[in-house]
Amino acid sequence: MTAPAPTVPTPPGPLILVIVGGSIAAVKAPSVLRRLRERGAQVRVIATDAALAFVTELSLATAAAHEVATDTTWFSPRPDAQHLTLARADAVVVVGASADLLARAAGGHASDLASATLLSVRAPVLWVPAMNEKMWTHPAVQANAETLRGWGHRFLGPEVGAFGTAGEGSGLGRMAEPEEIAAAVLALLTPPVPQDLAGLHVVVSAGPTREYLDPVRFISNPSSGKMGFAVAEEARDRGARVTLVTGPVTLPDPPGVTVSRIETALELRDAVLNAAQDAQIVVMTAAVADYRAAEAATEKQAKVAGDVTVTLTPNPDILAELGREKGERVLVGFAMETHAGVERAAAKAGRKNADFILLNYPTREGTAFGGDDNEVTLVRPDGSHEAWPRLSKREVARRLLDEARRVRGTAR
Question: Please, what is the minimum distance in Å from the beta carbon of residue 206 to ligand C5P?
Answer: 9
Total binding residues for ligand C5P by CB under 6 A?
Answer: 13
Backbone angles phi, psi at 142, to 5 degrees: -65, -40
Question: Please, what is the minimum distance in Å from the beta carbon of residue 272 to ligand C5P?
Answer: 8
Q: Verify whether residue 274 is a known catalytic residue.
A: no
Which residue minimizes CB distance to ligand C5P? 333
The partner residues of 129 in beta bridges, in order of sequence, read 97
Report how far residue 157's alpha carbon sits from residue 175's, in angstroms, rounded to the nearest whole number. 6
Question: Please, what is the minimum distance in Å from the beta carbon of residue 91 to ligand C5P?
Answer: 41
Report how far residue 13's alpha carbon sits from residue 36's, in angstroms, rounded to the nearest whole number. 10
Marked catalytic residue, from 221, 274, 353, 360: 221
Query: Has 300 been labeled as part of a binding site?
Result: yes
Our CB check for ligand C5P shows the closer of 99 and 319 to be: 319
Question: Please, what is the minimum distance in Å from the beta carbon of residue 215 to ligand C5P?
Answer: 23
76 contacts 9 by C-beta, under 8 angstroms = no
Interacting positions 192-211 with ligand C5P (CB under 6 A): 205
235 contacts 201 by C-beta, under 8 angstroms = no
Report how far residue 255's alpha carbon sits from residue 131's, in angstroms, rounded to the nearest whole number. 34
**What track of x and - describes contact with ligand C5P for positions 107 through 146 (by CB under 6 A)?**
----------------------------------------
218 contacts 211 by C-beta, under 8 angstroms = yes
Q: Does 286 bind ligand C5P (CB under 6 A)?
A: yes
Our CB check for ligand C5P shows the closer of 23 and 367 to be: 367
Q: How many CA atoms within 13 Å lie on the side-chain side of 316?
A: 16
Side chain identity at residue 136, one-letter code: W
- Which residues does 3 contact at the CB level (< 8 Å), separation at least 6? none
Interacting positions 209-268 with ligand C5P (CB under 6 A): 265
Question: Please, what is the minimum distance in Å from the beta carbon of residue 337 to ligand C5P?
Answer: 8
Backbone angles phi, psi at 312, to 5 degrees: -110, 150
Query: Has 326 been labeled as part of a binding site?
Result: no
Side chain identity at residue 150, one-letter code: G
Helix (H) or strand (E) holding 147: helix 139-150
For residue 26, give the DSSP letter: G
Interacting positions 311-330 with ligand C5P (CB under 6 A): 315, 317-319
List, as residue ranges, the binding site.
290, 300, 316-319, 334, 348, 352
Q: Which residues are catalytic?
A: 221
Contacting positions for ligand C5P (CB under 6 A): 205, 265, 284, 286, 288, 315, 317-319, 333-335, 348
List, as residue ranges, the binding site for CTP.
290, 300, 316-319, 334, 348, 352
